[in-house]
Structure 1
Amino acid sequence: MLVSESTPDGFSFMTGSSLLGQLSSMRKLHELTIIAPFVLPLPRSKDNIRTIKKILRIDKKGIVDGVVYYRPWFFGFPLILGRLNDFIKVLAIFVCIKVNKIKFDIIHAHYAHPPGFVAVLLGKIVKKPVIITCRGSDIHEYTEKNYPDKLRRSRVLYSIKNAVYLICVSNFLKRKVISLGIDDAKVTVIPNGVKSRMFYPIDSSVARKQINLPIDKKLLVNVALLTPIKGTKYLIDAFAELTKRRNDVLLLIIGDGPLRAELENQVLALNLDGHVRFLGFIPNEELVFWFNAADLFVLPSLGEGFGIVLIEAMSCGIPIVASNVGGIPEIINEDNLGVLTTPGDIKGLSSCILQALNKTWDRNRLIERSKYYSWDNVARLTSDIYERI
Structure 2
Amino acid sequence: MAVKVITYADQADKADDVYRILRQGHPLLRQAKYFWRLFGLANWADAIYATDLYSVGYFAYWLKKILGKKYVIRFAGDSAWELAAAKGWTKDYIIDFQDKKYDKKIEKLKNRRKKILAEADKVIAVSRFMALVAKKIGVPENKIEVIYNSVDFAGGLAFDSAKVEAIKNQFGGAKKIIMTACRLAPWKGVDGIIKILPDLIKLAGPVSFLVLGDGRQEADLKKLAKDLAVGGRVFFLGKIKREEIMNYYKAADLFILNSQYEGLSHTLLEAMSAQAPIIASAIGGNPELISDGEQGLLVGYNNRKELLAAAGRILMDNNLAASLARQAKIKSGEFSWEKTAAQTAFVLNQVCYG
Q: Residues 249 and 74 of structure 1: is their aligned pair in 2 closer, same or farther, counting only changes over 3 Å?
A: closer
Contact 1:140–1:305 (CA under 8 A) maintained in structure 2: no
- Work out whether 1:343 is the aligned partner of 2:301: yes
Deviation at 1:202, TM superposition (A): 6.4
Alpha-carbon distance in structure 1 between the residues aligned to 2:66 and 2:234? 52
Q: Given the alignment, which residue of 68, 76, 80 partners 2:18?
A: 68
- Work out whether 1:34 is the aligned partner of 2:17: no
Deviation at 1:102, TM superposition (A): 6.7
Deviates more, 1:98-107 or 1:191-200: 98-107
Give ranges in structure 1 of 5+ residues lacking alignment. Answer: 1-29, 39-54, 78-84
- Work out whether 1:161 is the aligned partner of 2:118: yes
**Secondary structure, counterpart of 2:44 in structure 1:** coil
Contact 1:256–1:280 (CA under 8 A) maintained in structure 2: yes
Task: Within 5 Å, give how 1:297-316 maps onto structure 2.
Answer: 297-316=255-274
Task: Within 5 Å, give how 1:261-280 maps onto structure 2.
Answer: 261-280=219-238
Contact 1:231–1:300 (CA under 8 A) maintained in structure 2: yes
Give ranges in structure 2 of 5+ residues lacking alignment. Answer: 84-96
**Secondary structure, counterpart of 2:334 in structure 1:** helix
- Match of residue 237 from structure 1: 195
Contact 1:225–1:257 (CA under 8 A) maintained in structure 2: yes
Alpha-carbon distance in structure 1 between the residues aligned to 2:55 and 2:41? 23
Deviation at 1:141, TM superposition (A): 4.3
- Match of residue 70 from structure 2: 129
Name the aligned partner's letter for residue 304 of structure 1.
E
**Secondary structure, counterpart of 1:379 in structure 2:** helix
Q: Given the alignment, which residue of 30, 43, 51 partners 1:110?
A: 51
Deviates more, 1:358-367 or 1:281-290: 358-367
| TM-score between the two structures when normalised by the length of structure 1 | 0.77
Alpha-carbon distance in structure 1 between the residues aligned to 2:228 and 2:48? 50
| TM-score between the two structures when normalised by the length of structure 2 | 0.84
1:14-52 C-alpha deviation (Å, 9 max, x unpaired)? xxxxxxxxxxxxxxxx432222369xxxxxxxxxxxxxx
**Secondary structure, counterpart of 1:116 in structure 2:** helix
Q: Residues 350 and 101 of structure 1: is their aligned pair in 2 closer, same or farther, counting only changes over 3 Å?
A: closer
Name the aligned partner's letter for residue 197 of structure 2.
F
Q: Given the alignment, which residue of 145, 153, 157 partners 1:188?
A: 145
Deviation at 1:149, TM superposition (A): 3.3
- Work out whether 1:329 is the aligned partner of 2:287: yes
Q: Residues 102 and 286 of structure 1: is their aligned pair in 2 closer, same or farther, counting only changes over 3 Å?
A: farther
1:47-106 C-alpha deviation (Å, 9 max, x unpaired)? xxxxxxxx7xx42x632xx651231789768xxxxxxx59x94x6445325667972211
| Identical pairs, percent | 26
Alpha-carbon distance in structure 2 between the residues aligned to 1:129 and 1:288? 38
- Work out whether 1:199 is the aligned partner of 2:161: no
- Match of residue 217 from structure 1: 175
Q: Given the alignment, which residue of 242, 261, 274 partners 1:284?
A: 242
Alpha-carbon distance in structure 1 between the residues aligned to 2:40 and 2:120? 26
Alpha-carbon distance in structure 1 between the residues aligned to 2:114 and 2:41? 31
Q: Residues 101 and 372 of structure 1: is their aligned pair in 2 closer, same or farther, counting only changes over 3 Å?
A: closer
Q: Residues 210 and 270 of structure 1: is their aligned pair in 2 closer, same or farther, counting only changes over 3 Å?
A: closer
Deviation at 1:180, TM superposition (A): 2.3
Contact 2:74–2:126 (CA under 8 A) maintained in structure 1: yes
Task: Within 5 Å, give how 1:345-384 maps onto structure 2.
Answer: 345-357=303-315, 358=317, 359-362=320-323, 363-384=325-346
Alpha-carbon distance in structure 2 between the residues aligned to 1:139 and 1:98? 25
Aligned length: 329
Alpha-carbon distance in structure 1 between the residues aligned to 2:328 and 2:309? 22
Deviation at 1:198, TM superposition (A): 4.2
Name the aligned partner's letter for residue 122 of structure 2.
Y
Q: Given the alignment, which residue of 162, 165, 189 partners 1:208?
A: 165
Deviation at 1:201, TM superposition (A): 6.4
Deviation at 1:169, TM superposition (A): 0.5
Contact 2:42–2:48 (CA under 8 A) maintained in structure 1: no
**Secondary structure, counterpart of 2:14 in structure 1:** strand
Alpha-carbon distance in structure 2 between the residues aligned to 1:384 and 1:304? 25
Q: Residues 231 and 252 of structure 1: is their aligned pair in 2 closer, same or farther, counting only changes over 3 Å?
A: same
1:359-380 C-alpha deviation (Å, 9 max, x unpaired)? 2423443222111111111000
Contact 1:166–1:186 (CA under 8 A) maintained in structure 2: yes
Alpha-carbon distance in structure 2 between the residues aligned to 1:235 and 1:73? 34
Q: Residues 97 and 209 of structure 1: is their aligned pair in 2 closer, same or farther, counting only changes over 3 Å?
A: closer
Q: Given the alignment, which residue of 147, 151, 167 partners 2:108?
A: 151
Name the aligned partner's letter for residue 118 of structure 2.
K
Q: Residues 200 and 246 of structure 1: is their aligned pair in 2 closer, same or farther, counting only changes over 3 Å?
A: same
Contact 1:338–1:356 (CA under 8 A) maintained in structure 2: no
Alpha-carbon distance in structure 2 between the residues aligned to 1:98 and 1:139? 25
Contact 1:139–1:173 (CA under 8 A) maintained in structure 2: no
Q: Residues 201 and 70 of structure 1: is their aligned pair in 2 closer, same or farther, counting only changes over 3 Å?
A: closer
Contact 1:113–1:152 (CA under 8 A) maintained in structure 2: no
Contact 2:212–2:236 (CA under 8 A) maintained in structure 1: yes
